[in-house]
Amino acid sequence: MESMTQAAHALFSLPRCTLRGRGGAGDAFFFKVQKTPSLPSPGSTRGRVNLEAAHDCVTLPEKLEGVSILHILVGVVGLVLVVAILIEGFETVVQPRRVARRYRISHVYYVVFWRLWRWVADAWCNKPRKRAAFLSTFGPLSLLGIFTTWTIGLIFAFAMLHWGLRDSIQINFGSSPQNFGTYLYLSGTTFFTLGYGDVTPIHPVGRVLAVAEAGLGFGFLAAILSYLPALFQAYSRREVSISLLDARAGSPPTAMQLILRAARSDSIGALEPFLAEWERWAAELLESQLSFPVLAYYRSQHDNQSWVAALATILDACAVMMTQVRSRGNYQAQVTFAIARHAAVDLALVLRAKAPDPEKLVDRLQPLEFAKMRSLLEGAQVGLSNSEGAEESLYALRQMYEPFIQALATKLLLPLPLHLTDDSSPDNWQRSAWMKPTPGIGALPVATPNEGHFG
């Protein structure tokens, strides 16, 4: 009899996990450790809970009664943030065209951080080379930064949705308070599909959110990774032509060096197919940097080269060929000028580079320099057009693109080339760290026409 009493006492002394609910389908359920009635025993108190055994039970934080206005507002903000980031990512990564909306996350991001980057460069980088190196890091770092901003924004947005909907969660290991930090942890592990399983949603709405976030996170990261190769290919195509401009137009490139080097080699006719190549380059520049605006912040390999300087050189060369050089036809110069100006105008608009006032424009070709330019062209045996009205015609063409070119250069802190420069400075291809500069174009040892093949 005594043994039966002890067995019954041990049976009724075990703590039990009882599932309790509030009846409605939308209400949360939670586990609560309860003490069942037990027989009195010496040294024990009736109704005492075994705390050590309670840790072995799965606990669910109890949901508070009702949903406050704060929860509704936070949930709405989270939903808006998710939609905004998805639209932003679609427009940037998937949609290959210019976006005209003014209020965008990426626009605010680049305005704020580019101003900060410029301020640091002006305040701390005194040497030109150091300043150029620091500015060149903005493009790649800003790209990583905007992707990180979107990722963090999505994680916070889904956490706000869980918290705003008062989603019931199950904590499978240990104990944790049901606060926003727990929901943020759940959102982070779900977005990156870590699958720890220590915190899981219970309510059907929470489960749907978790599945949606996991799929979105996987697809979002895949889209970002596929975006980078296309971006780097566009950058490489842009820089190939800029590198080819070095030997033809100098470093930095200028329109007069481009024309004079061709004329002194008796190859002025080679400028027409050359301008045809740069017509395509300008079109690709326009297309690629409308699709990938961040490319505008990617700088060239050499400090004295840039896509803005190359675009200005081609526009200057076309303007000189159209107004100063006498030829049978200047159709190619006109069409190249048209697409190059189109690129300058649209890219200034996309980057929101405000053109300076007409009185604040820098005149890159002074009247005395214009006379010198005509003299140099004549000395290179270039057939010139009539001098009457030549300067006014060139000035009128330059006013069509100078405001936009100077706006881009000011916005991106890139130097613009002059029309006339001293051709005594060596080009980039002539320089080396181990020997003296090599002779330039026109001074290289080449065979003369009267030399035979065997000497």
**How does pLDDT run across 140-161, given as a tens digit for each residue?**
999 999 999 999 999 999 999 9
User: What residues have CB less than 8 Å from 344, skipping those under 6 apart?
Assistant: 311, 315, 401, 404, 405, 408
Statement: residue 340 has pLDDT above 50: yes
Statement: residue 34 has pLDDT above 60: no
**Residue 149 class from Cβ within 10 Å (0-12 exposed, 13-18 middle, 19+ buried)?**
middle
The residue whose two tokens read 């037990």 is 38
pLDDT digits (tens, 9 = 90+) for 348-407: 998 989 887 777 888 898 888 898 999 999 888 888 888 788 889 999 999 999 999 999
Angle (nearest 5°) at CA 197 between 82 and 201 = 50
- What is the value of pTM for the model shown? 0.77
Rounded CA separation 92/429 (Å): 37
Which domains, from first to last, does the chain contain?
16-57 (no CATH), 69-226 (1.10.287.70), 250-430 (no CATH)
User: What residues have CB less than 8 Å from 374, skipping those under 6 apart?
Assistant: 324, 384, 387, 390
